[in-house]
Structure formats: structure tokens, C-alpha cells
Amino acid sequence: MKENFVKKISISRLCGDDYFSKTEGLQKFQELTFDFPITFFAGENGTGKSTLLEAIALKLGFNAEGGSKEFNFSTNDTHSKLHEFLKVVKSPRRATDGFFLRSESLYNLASYAEDVKIDFSEYGNRSIHQQSRGEGVFNIVGNRFRGNGLYLLDEPDSGLSLQRQLSLLVLIDQLVKDGSQFIIATHSPILLAMPHAKIISFDATAPVEISYEESAAYEALDLFFNSRESMLAKLFEDV
């Protein structure tokens, strides 16, 4: 297995009145080591996984709203200042490709791509605006990602069917075999099942490594499938 492009991240200091210092999953964050080619950030909404992923992307020179390092646009400057306090330890190996994909700003990315008349041959041979959200995400990973790259994905499962999520796992595996590294924030129990990956949970006051079976996404899905009727009855008993 090739050495990861990003080996470790750490926080130099935190400002007590900033959003990230009040975010439960980041309150006691000190450092994370990336010793697998795929690292998942998992956890409930608002625990800080997307905030940290965004900070890593900004620290590495990516645009806050997504794209490759050549993308330069901003529709709403809402990102936190966490990247200013982040230290990234990189290996001597250099990526020849990279992309920050965040589902929430895919529309903005698509608009920018049209404005600069980007070559859409690597994006499904048509404007991203002419594709569904799921198609756009899948085509970007399947066609635009070239291998030997560093790819940061924020909830790529958004808009993808179960079958497409399984297919996404295959694409990621192929890119890893081409020397790529992934850092992915997700709620998907399908993506989290990826073999030979590290799962970091943000459900405590500091990010901690967990097993697949310990993830909240797996536990909820397991409970639903094995106790669906009693679970639904409990949810709606007061309705």
C-alpha cells in the first residue's frame, strides 16, 4: 500500500468563542492519524465532521464550495476559520489529482463550471445541471477522478440509490488501487461498510476510531431491519 498524501492533522489552538470550539465532536480534538487509504468521518448532524473536512480542504488549497484546486468561486462565504488553526502533516509523495466534493454546493459548482466553459467530457459529457444530483456525483467520481489523487467527499451518498452507493464503493476501490487517498464524511451504512477503511466517530467530545458495528448508522439500520414493527410502533405510539 502506498503512503498516504495526508498523514496527520492536528489543532494548534482553538478560539473559545468560535463555532468549532462549541461543536460537541470537536471540543477535545487534538489530532488524527490517517493510516488507511480511506478514512470515514461518521456521526450525527452537527457533530463537526463536515466542518473538519472543510477545514482540511481549505488548508490543502481547495475551494470552500468544492472542485479541484483550479476552481475559484464563492457564492456565500460561510466556512469556519478552523483551517487557520489546523496543521497538516503530508508525505513526500505528491498527488497528481485532487477534488473536494460537497453535495450541498454541487449546484454552485455546476454553475461555475458552465461559466468558465469547462470541458464536460469528464463530467458525464453534459452539464452537471442537466444531471440529477446522484448522477452528477457519480459521474464526477467515475469520470473526473483520475487516480493518484487526494479526494475529499462530503456526503457523496446524498441523492444516490442503494445500488449506486454500492457502485460508488467499487469506484473508490479502483481509485485506491491507483494510489488515491479518500477522506469521506457520510451517514451511509453502505459506504461505512467499505473494507480496509478507518471510521472516525464524532459522536463524542473528540473524534475516536470505531468499528463498523459500533457506528450509529449501522446500529440504527440493524435495529430497523430486525425490529421494524416494534420500532415503528414506538415512534408513532403518541401520534
Domain-embedded: residue 53: yes
Q: Is residue 27 part of a domain?
A: yes
Structural domain includes residue 171 = yes
In a domain, 185, yes or no: yes
Whether residue 1 lies inside any domain: the answer is: no
- In the chain the first and final C-alpha atoms are separated, in Å, by 53
DSSP SS3 for 59:
helix
With respect to residue 112, please indicate whether it lies within any of the assigned structural domains: yes
Is 190 part of any domain? yes
- The sign of the CA dihedral 218, 36, 13, 83 is negative
Is residue 46 domain-resident?
yes
Domain count for the chain, please give it. Answer: 1
pLDDT, one tens digit for every residue, the chain (239 residues): 789 999 999 987 655 546 566 677 777 788 999 999 999 999 998 888 988 999 999 999 998 877 777 766 555 555 677 888 889 999 999 999 999 988 765 656 666 666 666 656 666 666 666 667 778 788 888 888 999 999 999 999 988 899 999 999 999 999 999 999 999 999 999 999 999 999 999 998 889 999 999 999 999 999 899 998 998 888 888 65
CATH code for position 196: 3.40.50.300
Contacts of 195 (CB under 8 A, 6+ apart): none
Closest CA to 149 of 98, 183, 88: 98
Residue 42 bridge partners (DSSP): 201
Q: How far apart are CA 3 and CA 36, in angstroms?
A: 9
Domain that holds residue 63: 6-235
Distance CA 157, CA 194 (A): 13
